Amino acid sequence: MSSSSSSSFVALILLLLAMIGKGQGRVDVRRIPADFSIGTSTSAHQVEGGWTADGKGQSIWDNFTHTRADRIRDGSNVDKGCDHYHKYKEDIELLGEHGFDHYRFSLSWSRLLPTGRPDNVNRAAVRFYHGILDELERRNVTPYVTIYHWDHPQVLEDELGGWLNESMARVFAEYARFVYEEFGPRVRTFTTINEPYVNCYFGYGTGAYAPGRRQPGLGEYQCVHNQLKGHALAYRIYDRDFRARQRGRVGIVNVCFQYYAKYPQQAELAERAFEFECGWTSQPIFGPEGDYPEVMKKTIAEKSRREGRNSSRLPEFSPEWIEIIKGSSDYFGLNHYSAMLVEELPPGLRVDAVDVQMMTQDADLLKSYDPKWPGTESSWLKIVPEGIRDVLNSIRKKYGNPPVYIMECGTSDGNGLDDNLRVKYLHSYMQQVLLAKKRDKCDVRAFTIWSFLDSFEWNSGYTEHFGLVQVDFNDENRKRTPKNSMAWLKTVLQSRQLLQPISLLPKFDELKL
């Protein structure tokens, strides 16, 4: 080959590589932008323990695990749990050592306000949460604070009926005001309520979660209705009375799976599934017209009429409430884990209402999984990285490209410290998020890994392991041991590069599941 031919050949190769890099983002997608925050997360009930320590009141989950242990897979509770209440300094030291940008944690309503109302403040609890903020500040980790993560005081369930009572919205707003006053000068990112869909469906529909009320087709709709009102009231309080001096942001966190039609000729079913889950709690806030998705309103109203009811099982918002709720979030808080297939629900088929896959009867959809999708320790969680990019693009298109903060994304992994499955999951999902941000121009600003510690996973107890850090629950001191994923994340955070390409990691079928 002549020198001129060689030069031309090299130039061609370089051009092809440049085109490949431009087309696939193989170079650019590795770089993590300076303004893209990476963190990890917990919730109060799942990690704190100290269930009666220093004046804490009883939460609905305390009551549920003690009175209905048969609904927890291993019969466990969180009386001590991870004991984060006493070990938070050690935990936050780990966060700082590994270079996380932010830490998302929740406040225990029953710890702060044992009677649920701000006329009875537990000052020991206030000091505890200020202690967490002190340690985060010392370690240069930004706090993201969730005001309510499913654990309201049992007294409010007993006195009001919890979220089935509209009064609960105003009680929650009073609690939020207290939080802003006490912690707002130190916190710039608040979440009002975590996942109304999941909380209400399992807590008031199927009864699988606390408070354990089984009112399918009614309870979950009334609960979401009141949680959206409570969220909006809390947002308006911040907007009116605190924003000017605290200069923070307030939002809500919604869960959004990605849905794909099982059969190509039924492509419209994926849209229906999205609206009955993500759209249910997102459309009233982020949709241009507010209110619930039209497909939900029409479908449930028609079913209610055929059932002989005088009104729809899906409550209606007044025009005044539509305006209060619409626009009541400074960002779109997204929790995303996996994807599912959907098909038409066969006529006459009734699926067990407690099945975690369901909440499909009103949508007339049957959910399933593609057998090609790799599994995890959790039966409901399959690894489908492209799903998170598709969800981010749906949010961009439907809701005007709001700022998105991914507040939970992660996987269970039963391989102990050798959690290479988790590394591969996080690498592939973060890659898709960066593609959505850089290539699709989705305004996504944060990625938060669930979870920091192995912890109590609701009705699964301690049988599923989502933590970056292993906790020895047989050790009285609850020994912490960082897993392989923490070491990998440390290199990613220090270099600001999405390191370790998937090709260098074990294949899914080589991992012990």
If we measure between CA atoms, which residue out of 454, 432, 455 comes closest to residue 444? 432
d(Cα 68, Cα 49) in Å, to the nearest integer? 18
Provide the 8-state DSSP code for 218. Answer: T
If we measure between CA atoms, which residue out of 253, 220, 248 comes closest to residue 147? 253
d(Cα 299, Cα 288) in Å, to the nearest integer? 21
Crossing angle for the helix pair 420-438 and 386-399, to the nearest 10 degrees? 30
- Where does 23-167 show beta strands of DSSP type E? 37-41, 102-106, 142-148
Q: How many CA atoms, within 13 angstroms, populate the side-chain half-sphere of residue 434?
A: 24
Distances (CA, A) of 20 to 30, 175, 430, 504: 14, 53, 20, 20
Of the residues 48, 195, 220, 377, only one is catalytic, namely 195
Of the residues 48, 220, 408, 457, only one is catalytic, namely 408
Distances (CA, A) of 135 to 95, 166, 178, 410: 10, 37, 22, 25
Helical (H) or strand (E) element with 493: helix 484-495
Strands 339-344 and 258-261: parallel
Instruction: Take residue 277 and report the two structure tokens written for it.
Output: 């889950």
Its sign, for the CA torsion 413, 417, 418, 419, is: positive
Provide the 8-state DSSP code for 509. Answer: G
- Work out the number of other CB atoms within 10 angstroms of the CB of residue 36: 18
- The 365-368 sheet, strands edge to edge: 258-261, 339-344, 365-368
Q: Cβ distance 334 to 407 under 8 Å? A: yes
Q: Which amino acid would we find at residue 98?
A: H
Q: Would you call 48 a catalytic residue per the annotation?
A: no
Q: Would you call 408 a catalytic residue per the annotation?
A: yes
So which residues are the catalytic ones? 195, 408
